[in-house]
A = this chain, B = another copy of it.
């Protein structure tokens, strides 16, 4: 099978980790029968400075004709810059990548094992970015719309249910696990936002009540107490489904529990396309030193393959990464090691 993969390194360490993802894909054993074509694409702050647009139309068009992609990270300004808008937020919407899937897993030897996946709605909530500002006698006032639809909530809960079943199947095949049965936890704040988060809650629970999810236990939790429990009892979570912003916040919290954002992958998933994206940012503080952790991107490449139904290839990559981490000899500085990006990549390549 030939797969065309768009590569968007973006800014900062995005440029160091995306090549690592590419090399791992290229190094997959020929026996898997995969052939990759890579296309380099532009987006981000540097692109904005050069061209006046952060996400060139060509990037969107080319990417939409690819099977999958890898997105590094971009540096966003914290204040509004005229004409600049986050390219990853735009891409998610333009390509209808409605689910953001973020598995967070500790190594098997961890003192406190964690194995959860956060399934984040990826197109709406406050990310619709409909904002306005007006003047009042008491100063400026700004408003943003938080939009929640029954359809997107149903879709995201459905994919969460499917992921719970798939995880259960892998466990049933003998993989060691901290979980007994499949569980989906629905996150919301409907005690305050009874209509928007109330709709998310109702639609998610209705979707998960479908007979094909009859083996999946469904729980719900208010987002603030979820963050509390995430820190206290992370082993309790299997699949978490959340509206966009809560999913954003929860996945960073979960990443802290496994030691580094540099370990946590994500995939932006549409009906027929998946875009892998490490959860870390462009990290200007360590850029150019050759010490960024390539694992989040390498795992994102595997996750992308999973959603392109190449589970065997994905499993190979995960195993090579896990073996690197479990041995613990070649770790990047964010994990307390001294290995360079290149050494970590080499170590993972030889384990493939």
Q: A255 to B251: give the CA distance in the assembly, Å.
A: 18
* CB pair A79 B194 closer than 8 Å: yes
A199→B256 CA distance, assembly (Å):
29
Q: How far is the CA of A248 from the CA of B249 in the complex (A)?
A: 12
Q: In the complex, what distance in Å separates the CA atom of A198 from the CA atom of B126?
A: 14
List of B residues within 8 angstroms of A202 by Cβ: 79
Q: Is the CB of B139 within 8 A of A150?
A: yes
Known contacts A79-B194, A79-B202, A141-B149; decide if A232 and B220 are in contact (CB<8 Å).
Answer: no
Q: Which of A180-203 contact B (CB under 8 A)?
A: 188-196, 198-199, 201-203
Q: Is the CB of B146 within 8 A of A141?
A: no
Q: Which residues of B contact A309 (CB under 8 A)?
A: none
Please encode chain A, from 43 to 56, with 1 for each CB lying within 8 Å of some chain B CB and 0 for all others.
00000000000000
Residue contact B79 to A190, C-beta cutoff 8 Å: yes
A146 to B127, CA, bound (A): 12
Number of copies: 2
The verdict on A290 contacting chain B, using a C-beta distance below 8 Å, is no
CB-CB < 8 A to A77: which residues of B? 191
Whether B132 and A140, one on each chain, are in contact in the complex, defined by CB atoms closer than 8 angstroms, is: no
Which A residues between 132 and 147 are near B, CB-CB below 8 angstroms? 132-133, 136, 138-147
Complex CA distance for A139 and B127, rounded to whole angstroms: 20
A39-77: contact bitstring with B at CB < 8 Å (1 yes, 0 no)? 000000000000000000000000000000000000011
* A198→B79 contact, CB < 8 A: yes
User: Residues of A with Cβ closer than 8 Å to B?
Assistant: 76-80, 86, 89, 126-127, 129, 131-133, 136, 138-151, 154, 188-196, 198-199, 201-203, 220, 222-225, 227-232, 245, 248-249, 251-253, 255-257, 261, 281
Complex CA distance for A76 and B78, rounded to whole angstroms: 36
Tell me which of B131, B191, B199, B220 contacts A76 (CB under 8 A): B191
6 more CB-based (< 8 A) A-B contacts, given A141-B150, A231-B253: A80-B194, A126-B192, A131-B195, A231-B231, A232-B256, A253-B253
Contact B144 A149 (CB under 8 A): no
Known: A141-B150, A150-B141. A253 touches B228 (CB 8 A): yes
